[in-house]
Structure 1
Amino acid sequence: SICSESVLKCVCWSVSDLDLFLCFRPNVCAMQQIKGTDKKYFTNCKQWYHRKICGKPTVISYECCPGYEKIPGEKGCPAALPLVNIFNTLGVVGAITTQMYSERANLKEEIEGPGSFTFFAPSNEAWAALPTEILDALVSNVNIELLNALHYHMVNRRLTSEELKHGSSFPSMYQDFHVHIHHYPNGIVTVNCARLIKPDQHATNGIVHVVDRVITAVSNNVQTLIDVDDDLETLRTAIAAAGLTALLESEGQYTIFAPTNEAFEKIPQETLNRILGDPVALKDLLNYHILKHMQCAESIVSGTPMETLQGTMLEVGCDGDQMTLNGRAIITRRDQLGTNGVIHYINELLIPDSAKTLLELAEGSSVATATKLFVDAGLSSHLTGSEPLTLLAPLDDAFKGSMTMTPDMRRLMTNHILKEQLSSKSLYHGQELETLGGLKLRVFVYRNNLCIENACIAAHDKIGRYATMFTVDKVLTPPMGTVMDVLKADDRFSLLVGAIQTAGMTELLNQQGALTFFAPTNDAFSAIPQAELNKLMRNRQELSNVLRYHLAEGMVVSGGVGSHTRPKTLQGEKLELGMRNYTIYVNRKPVAEADLMATNGVVHAINTIVKPLSPISTFQQSSSLKLLIRFTSNVICSFLGTVSTKADHSFEKLKFLINF
């Protein structure tokens, strides 16, 4: 929308250059209000929240900052209003309820008189949000409780928002109980987790910061808060068993996502007993609920990964008015403040991977088919036990058709479990890994992938209590013989086998090594005219050269093929490999079936005889380049001609060279 200069306030539903144009006029303040709610965020135009707060669009409004007003015909709000004392400033900034209670509690005289104070003044909405019984208790004994509550919102010195440093605290005017400040990187400032919604309202005798809630004195650490709350009885027991009590009593700045008794009850009893009986897993579980810093709910405007004491990340975010963890609205109570941190109550237990068994790691992942097959194959004891193992779990998409448990399938699934716990970061090219079935699997490291035989790792490691899960993109094909054995066992290659024997290459394909064979099928040979094929079969040297052009040095499984991969062949030239729509292309011809694994190589079936690509001649390259340059120069010349009619001498030389 376009906002007239003559109006005091304008509202823009979309963000454009107009926002900045208005915002940077003298003493114009912006207010972002979450659309459809009363929640507002003050900004001085140095901080913006990407026009969405907690996933909800905002309405941006512009008005004169408190203490300033417009002058007809002038831009912005250049006229400074006279400063008044704190009591009257409360009225200027709209904190009418705080002003009323200040008068009722006989605080008016103090904040009208001489001094230098900082008043964290609750908004009208903040007072209205107090439970009725608490508000009644305050105002029924105005000379004591209400005055004490208001004094706790005051500091006996002037503090601008810039001076409210993250992690600092200041003695309040109520028995020197401290107020706790947090100034977050996104610009949000909180006092005892109450957000400053209108900061830096200057007065003759101090400064007023309007806050979004009534704050209360803090005297207990977070461990004491847990100790006295019956809803956290199970958590309290777990903390003691894990030896974390001293940590939560110590000085620091922690955020605890505290699972309630109900949260623990949702966990299967067998799983809960296992974790509670394992000090290492229990400590990991609890540390996964603790952040290394203090994070008030009001400081969150979007999802942000945050590191836990356990070492992994939690995404702390929000959705409208709800605070979220890992995208789920499981926080039931927020901002219970202690002297050394803050507690947010959650109704679901968060179990980190490091406290899980292999079976638990697989649950909820995209490997449900593989998980069922492991169980059906009788391998559950390995998935739930304490053996150091690594599970190679193919994605659900890797399985085609119905999967029936047979002895061969049982053997295959057994060979998807490695005998040691590994990290993908420790794997190296040529490494051999032994399976529970006794097979040796090879590791292939490529520029763009990390593969075990034909299956490449498709996700980050899931490292459990005793074992690790690698999610892989294919069902493993363990090598069962040499390249020659693979070809002989497949009827599609009967003509190729004959050609190999004629060329005297049988020994080459049986010996130890690492080869990639783009193996022509019978269809490929049948496509050659019979006379030409007969001639080729009679010329052993030429036949050998043709076959060697199909054999590349080194192992290149499909996961190792990038957009431009050029392995050298045994014939001496290079092949051009590419990948499009999950299909390998060799010299621009598609591979019919990839990754037939052998002990000394890998076979990729192709339905054509591959020939070297015809290179583009130097003349053709030069002609094509000249055409491109001339087209570009014409565009440039046309453009420059509209700008200037004077021909620069150097530009004329460039045109001459291009057209030559």
Structure 2
Amino acid sequence: MNSEETENQETVVKPERESASGESGESREDLGASIETTGANNNKGVSGGPGQNEANLFHHLFEGMNKDLANVFNQIVKNAAEKQWWRGENVCIDRQEKVERNNVTDTESGVGHLNQLFSFGAAQFSSCRHSPSKYVCTTTTHKRDESKTVTVTHQCCHGYRRIDNKGQCVKVDLKPMTDLMQDVGGAEFMRMVKSVDMSDKLESENLTVFVPNDDAVKLYENEMFATNNVRLRRRIDDNEVMGSDSFKSDLSPTDMVLAHVIPGIVDINEVNNEEILHSELHNSSIRMNVYPGEKEAVVTANCAEIKSSNNPSTAGLVHVVSRVMKPVEKSLIELIRAEPSLSMFSQILENSNLTQMLSEHPHMTVFAPNNAAFEKMESGLRNKYLRGQACIKSVLKHHIVPHTICTAAIPNKKRSTIDLNGEWLSLERDASGTLVVGDKAHTERPDIMATNGVIHIVNKVIQPKSAQPTSQILSQSNHTTWLELVQKANLMDMIDQTVNLTMFVPSEASLNEPATKEKLDAMSPEALRDVVLYHAAQPKVCSCEMENDMVVNSTLEGQKLQINMFSNPLFSGLQARATVQCARIINTDEKGCETVAHEIDRLLEPPTQTALEFVKSNPNLTVFSQIIEGTKIMSELSEGSVEPFTLLAPSDESFKNIPEADLNSLKEDKDMADTFVRKHMLEDHVCCSSVTPVMWPFVNEASNLAGTNLELRRDSAGRVHFGQAVATHCDNIAKDGVVHFINKPLLPRPSNLQSGGIKVTDPTGMQVLLFGI
């Protein structure tokens, strides 16, 4: 069984020596044959039993050494042999051989290449697997013209077993199958076996029988009696003539017995999760599941918990299960279509094109809301679901899990699993033992088995976050202030009904800052509406889809939002910072119906000016405005051909230490001024919020339009440096870029301009006028 199985893997690649006849010397096949002849006892024909030959070899090689040391060695060998139970007595060995002929010219499958590689010998690959009840070794030998696989399985012979999966194989008392059923609590099932004359069959063949305990059989009979009473009443009301078969179970006693019988021996220690067995009844399936338990694994067969396993009889094994297992012959979608109480659910599945998945996927769990669950919903939303609207596909996928979950797998503690949306779905048991799914959806009919999974009928439609309207998502994430602003702007219906929407939501802390609060309170309804619209964009962009320099269209007409991704060079490719319009994105991917919300650290305001207009209109940038006037870069900015960019604007105060003559030269020489301005323009959006502290020797750099790089850093005081300048007022968003105020102009070296100078050409080909030379 997977939960208890351990693996001992040995892989050997060794060319075998060929004999004169061209055959290998002592082959693995001969070894396997010699093992097979030992029958039920590995040690017969081996003098002294396990460990003794090794001890004799030790004495032969090291005769005369200290006897105590020899005894210690002998004891170690003996203990090791005892642990290797498959070498002990009462172990039967099964050997299976498979030979495949190889075509030397066949290169498509790669076999030809392998044969050419070993054309002068053979290669042998061996691996062994150890589980509590078996030791299996597989050896594959590749030769020039054939591949041979030999599988040797060691396990306790029939009538012997390892007690509690420990120690050697010891003899156990074997009883006839029907007598064993009586002893393990299956007297009612045994009575049924005898009533249909199947005792001889169970004693004459190697079989595995899943025996429902007495309580399970009685409960099944009571349910069948109650069901038949309901049918009887209905037929009497309809004046139908009753026949003697009216009280018969849907499953005849013979069929019921056969549905619990498996041909061959199935050791519970060896079954795998989601393994499919087939019963003697029309080959109907029995799905085995293995779940982690608090102390030991929980194993189920068609969701019936196995209470007692591997009980040996004279003809096979008996496993006691907690309920009667009905034949399983239909897929999930076939069962849903056939169940009257699931007609609405079935219709919605059809409209959403999910039926094929439920017929083809090998193992799924469906928490199917019944008609009553849909009728309890608000009529408008229910009708949208029936029409395939309102993110119904996300709702349906929240009710489907891509593996089999039986009620027995859920203890009294709360558990969670992942649905087809990739969202968490909680599972727990209430005080009565009923399985509760998600937001208090109680299971009314659990563990309805299909050939490809299980159905649990629940009494409530479970809404995932990914199917909820945006307003509900924001309410649950406590963005109450933003919701109040949306409501005040009369845009609640817009954010709930717009599909393919991304919303950037300012944090509660940022909205409640005094300056921001005062600004919002002073806004007219029209201005507030523009602000809210500016924070929404299309299309829907999840964090995994964000890229640097991504531009999305804001729902405020004529406006765009730019997303930037910035990485810390100390951890290349990791810990990327994302910003939108220089507001840092601090939480991501709150998904609603056709929408996604990301939390940002400040309010965004729609820009009303270009960067050039911003400089010209700002009273603290008059000197920089005079320098830029009449330059080529001014024309390019006016035409909108330099987007996107970052403008580092020196304040008027920063020019006070420059001699007046030098300053006049900057204003009058437009070639010089053009170069000066381009040195202050970075080729991309660079936000102060994205500049991180870095450790030497790592640096952040950005290229400017003058063709050189500018070092960016954040100091220990949190100030952002652009080269030798410090940003004094960051992240002023313009229509075509972002503007930062800096405390000194970025001048050619030497740092102070002086009258006179010479022109030189730098390595990039740019002509630069150097002053003070």
Q: Secondary structure at the match of 1:84?
A: coil
Distance 1:361-1:223 versus aligned 2 partners, 3 A rule: same
> How far apart, CA to CA, are the structure 1 residues paired with 2:276 and 2:307?
19
Deviation at 1:184, TM superposition (A): 6.0
Distance 1:432-1:127 versus aligned 2 partners, 3 A rule: closer
Deviation at 1:393, TM superposition (A): 3.1
Contact 1:87 1:99 in 2 (8 A): no
Alignment of 1:131-142 (within 5 A): 133=222
Deviation at 1:77, TM superposition (A): 4.1
Q: Secondary structure at the match of 2:380?
A: helix
> How far apart, CA to CA, are the structure 1 residues paired with 2:528 and 2:366?
46
Deviation at 1:382, TM superposition (A): 2.9
TM-score by length of 1: 0.62
> How far apart, CA to CA, are the structure 2 residues paired with 1:128 and 1:446?
64
Contact 2:368 2:456 in 1 (8 A): yes
Contact 1:223 1:245 in 2 (8 A): yes
Q: Give the partner amino acid of 1:459.
A: T
Residue 375 (structure 1) aligns with: 487
- Alignment partner of 1:597 out of 723, 727, 733: 733
Could you report, residue by residue, the CA deviation over 1:425-463 in whole angstroms, capped at 9, with x for unpaired residues?
777766654444322315344353565433466524847
Deviation at 1:83, TM superposition (A): 3.4
> How far apart, CA to CA, are the structure 1 residues paired with 2:559 and 2:456?
49
- Alignment partner of 1:408 out of 523, 527, 532: 527
Q: Secondary structure at the match of 1:459?
A: strand
Distance 1:313-1:566 versus aligned 2 partners, 3 A rule: same
> How far apart, CA to CA, are the structure 2 residues paired with 1:306 and 1:581?
46
Could you report, residue by residue, the CA deviation over 1:317-345 in whole angstroms, capped at 9, with x for unpaired residues?
6457886766x564535322234531123
Alignment of 1:63-78 (within 5 A): 67-68=161-162, 77-78=166-167
Q: Give the partner amino acid of 2:558.
A: L
Residue 284 (structure 2) aligns with: 178
> How far apart, CA to CA, are the structure 2 residues paired with 1:425 and 1:303?
24
Q: Are 1:477 and 2:605 an aligned pair?
A: yes
> How far apart, CA to CA, are the structure 2 residues paired with 1:573 and 1:555?
16
> How far apart, CA to CA, are the structure 2 residues paired with 1:476 and 1:362?
18
> How far apart, CA to CA, are the structure 2 residues paired with 1:303 and 1:95?
39
Could you report, residue by residue, the CA deviation over 1:383-412 in whole angstroms, capped at 9, with x for unpaired residues?
344x66534331434534444462322122
Contact 2:279 2:286 in 1 (8 A): no
Residue 459 (structure 1) aligns with: 588
Q: Are 1:498 and 2:629 an aligned pair?
A: no
Alignment of 1:134-533 (within 5 A): 152-161=259-268, 162=270, 166=274, 168-172=276-280, 175-176=281-282, 178-183=284-289, 190-196=300-306, 199-218=309-328, 222=332, 226=336, 232=342, 234-236=344-346, 238-239=348-349, 253-261=363-371, 263-265=373-375, 267-278=377-388, 281-282=391-392, 285-291=395-401, 294-298=404-408, 303-307=416-420, 312-316=421-425, 318=427, 330-333=441-444, 334-351=446-463, 359=471, 364-365=476-477, 367-385=479-497, 390-397=501-508, 398-401=510-513, 402=517, 403-404=520-521, 406=524, 407-418=526-537, 433-446=552-565, 448=576, 451-455=579-583, 458-460=587-589, 462=591, 464=593, 468-473=595-600, 474-487=602-615, 489=617, 494=620, 496-499=621-624, 501=626, 508=633, 511=638, 512=640, 513=642, 514-519=644-649, 525=654
Contact 1:254 1:340 in 2 (8 A): yes
> How far apart, CA to CA, are the structure 1 residues paired with 2:283 and 2:389?
38
Deviation at 1:82, TM superposition (A): 0.8
Contact 1:256 1:291 in 2 (8 A): yes
Could you report, residue by residue, the CA deviation over 1:138-158 in whole angstroms, capped at 9, with x for unpaired residues?
xxx9xx988875654332432
> How far apart, CA to CA, are the structure 2 residues paired with 1:243 and 1:500?
62
Q: Are 1:116 and 2:209 an aligned pair?
A: no
> How far apart, CA to CA, are the structure 1 residues paired with 2:458 and 2:663?
75
Residue 554 (structure 1) aligns with: 684
> How far apart, CA to CA, are the structure 1 residues paired with 2:743 and 2:175?
87
> How far apart, CA to CA, are the structure 2 residues paired with 1:264 and 1:612?
74
Could you report, residue by residue, the CA deviation over 1:471-528 in whole angstroms, capped at 9, with x for unpaired residues?
252433333223343345556xx1x433553586987465442432344567x74xx9
Structure 2 unaligned runs (5+)? Answer: 1-81, 87-130, 135-159, 227-247, 567-575, 750-773
Structure 1 unaligned runs (5+)? Answer: 1-23, 29-42, 47-65, 71-75, 614-660
Q: Secondary structure at the match of 1:414?
A: helix
> How far apart, CA to CA, are the structure 2 residues paired with 1:136 and 1:266?
31
Q: Secondary structure at the match of 2:476?
A: coil
Deviation at 1:596, TM superposition (A): 0.9
Q: Are 1:85 and 2:195 an aligned pair?
A: no
Contact 1:164 1:181 in 2 (8 A): no
Residue 98 (structure 1) aligns with: 185
> How far apart, CA to CA, are the structure 1 residues paired with 2:400 and 2:741?
54
Q: Give the partner amino acid of 1:478.
A: P
Contact 1:592 1:607 in 2 (8 A): yes
Deviation at 1:571, TM superposition (A): 6.3
Distance 1:88-1:388 versus aligned 2 partners, 3 A rule: closer
Contact 2:538 2:554 in 1 (8 A): yes
> How far apart, CA to CA, are the structure 2 residues paired with 1:378 and 1:317?
36
> How far apart, CA to CA, are the structure 1 residues paired with 2:484 and 2:376?
23
Contact 1:519 1:606 in 2 (8 A): yes
> How far apart, CA to CA, are the structure 1 residues paired with 2:267 and 2:315?
13
Residue 635 (structure 1) aligns with: none
Contact 2:291 2:299 in 1 (8 A): no
Q: Secondary structure at the match of 1:274?
A: helix
> How far apart, CA to CA, are the structure 2 residues paired with 1:100 and 1:221?
33
Contact 1:361 1:464 in 2 (8 A): no
Contact 2:616 2:625 in 1 (8 A): no
Q: Secondary structure at the match of 1:98?
A: coil
Structure with greater Cα Rg: 2
Q: Secondary structure at the match of 2:172?
A: coil
Deviation at 1:364, TM superposition (A): 3.4
> How far apart, CA to CA, are the structure 2 residues paired with 1:216 and 1:225?
13
Larger displacement relative to structure 2 (203-212 or 177-186): 177-186
Contact 2:305 2:322 in 1 (8 A): yes
Distance 1:106-1:191 versus aligned 2 partners, 3 A rule: closer
Contact 1:297 1:335 in 2 (8 A): yes
Residue 59 (structure 1) aligns with: none
Q: Secondary structure at the match of 2:365?
A: strand
Distance 1:111-1:299 versus aligned 2 partners, 3 A rule: farther
Distance 1:214-1:318 versus aligned 2 partners, 3 A rule: same
Contact 2:473 2:591 in 1 (8 A): yes
> How far apart, CA to CA, are the structure 2 residues paired with 1:594 and 1:497?
18
Distance 1:264-1:134 versus aligned 2 partners, 3 A rule: closer
Deviation at 1:190, TM superposition (A): 3.2
> How far apart, CA to CA, are the structure 2 residues paired with 1:441 and 1:247?
40
Q: Give the partner amino acid of 2:489.
A: A
Q: Give the partner amino acid of 1:443.
A: Q
